[in-house]
Amino acid sequence: MAKVSIGLRGWRFDEREVFTGDGEFRPLDEVPDDARQRLLRLIDLVEEPCDACYLVYGEGEKRRCNQATIVYGEPLEEVVLCDDHEADFLYWYREAGGKQYRGEAEFRDAFHEWFADGGRAPEGYAGLDHVETDPDALPDPPDPKEVQERIEAEAEFEGRRIDLHEYGDGDEGAREDGEDLDLDAVDLDTDYPTR
């Protein structure tokens, strides 16, 4: 199955999970949870400065930071980097103990701490093993406004479905206990995993 990056290099998506055959973004409720979470997160991340640049320049000189082109880690604990700083990150991950934080909540903080303490890849560190991709050639994440509208439309749809569910059960009229169906009795968990 073809894997594709969206917006930033790094995170990879199953093309068929995220796009329709026509190359349009699938409605979010059709996208598996993991991919959906990353997709929504990318909408914010494509605007972010590189974490390492930000540590160097800070908020006061934010305009000197390069925009992020690559993302590593789990959503919300991710590290975003520019091309110049990717080698530092890879060095930290592979050679300076970063790997132990894989999947951990401390992932980003641990990298930031190492970098802020002066951690850098040695000159000429050639750790890059990804296929060079022009970030400009990557598909953009979905339009935030469109996503917002879809989320609202879905919420409305869910609301209607609950109503229909209630009417539907009432119409059967054959509930042996004869009690009116109240919302507490509607099994919402079927559609909403609780963990």
Residue ranges binding Zn ion (CB under 5 A): 50, 52-53, 66, 82, 85
Query: Residue 18 has which token pair?
Result: 């995220």
Residue showing the smallest CB distance to Zn ion in the complex? 50
DSSP letter assigned to residue 50: P
Buried b (16+ CB within 10 A) or exposed e, 69-106: bbbbbbbeebbbbbeebbbbbbbbbeeeebeebeeeee
Question: For residue 64, what are the CA distances in angstroms to 147, 158, 172?
Answer: 30, 45, 66
Using an 8 Å Cβ cutoff, are 9 and 69 in contact? yes
Q: How far is the CB of 108 from Zn ion (least distance, A)?
A: 15
Q: How far is the CB of 52 from Zn ion (least distance, A)?
A: 4
Instruction: Give whichever of 37 and 66 is closer to Zn ion, judged by the CB atom.
Output: 66
Q: How far is the CB of 151 from Zn ion (least distance, A)?
A: 32
For the chain, the C-alpha Rg in angstroms (whole number) is: 23
Q: How far is the CB of 126 from Zn ion (least distance, A)?
A: 18
Report the distance separating Cα 176 and Cα 121, nearest Å: 72
Q: How far is the CB of 20 from Zn ion (least distance, A)?
A: 35
Q: How far is the CB of 132 from Zn ion (least distance, A)?
A: 18
Element (H, E) at 47: none
Element (H, E) at 156: helix 144-172
Report the distance separating Cα 56 and Cα 171, nearest Å: 66
